Chains A and B, each alone.
Chain A
Amino acid sequence: KAGVTQTPRYLIKTRGQQVTLSCSPISGHRSVSWYQQTPGQGLQFLFEYFSETQRNKGNFPGRFSGRQFSNSRSEMNVSTLELGDSALYLCASSAIGGRGNIQYFGAGTRLSVL
Chain B
Amino acid sequence: SQQGEEDPQALSIQEGENATMNCSYKTSINNLQWYRQNSGRGLVHLILIRSNEREKHSGRLRVTLDTSKKSSSLLITASRAADTASYFCATDPPNSGYALNFGKGTSLLVTP
Contacts and interface: CB of A to CB of B under 8 A. Distances in A.
A90 B102 CA distance: 13
Given A90-B42, A99-B30, A105-B43, A43 B98 contact: no
A4 interface: yes
B25 interface: no
Contact-size category for A: 20 to 34
Given A99-B30, A100-B50, A102-B33, A42 B44 contact: no
A94 B103 CA distance: 20
Interface residue range, chain B: 20 to 34
A58 B2 CA distance: 12
Contacts of B99: 33, 45, 48, 56, 58
Contact of B45 (A45, A50, A90, A102): A102
Interface stretch (A11-19, A65-73, A75-83, A106-114): A106-114
Q: At the interface, is chain A mostly helix, strand, loop or mixed?
A: strand
A26 interface: no
Contact of B40 (A42, A58, A108): A108
A43 B88 contact: yes
A102 B47 CA distance: 9
Given A42-B105, A88-B40, A108-B40, A100 B97 contact: no
Interface of A: 4, 31, 33, 35, 42-43, 45, 48, 50, 55-56, 58-59, 88, 90, 92, 97-100, 102-108, 110
Interface of B: 1-2, 30-31, 33, 35, 40-45, 48, 50, 88, 92, 96-105
8 contacts: A33-B98, A42-B105, A50-B98, A59-B1, A88-B40, A90-B42, A103-B43, A107-B41
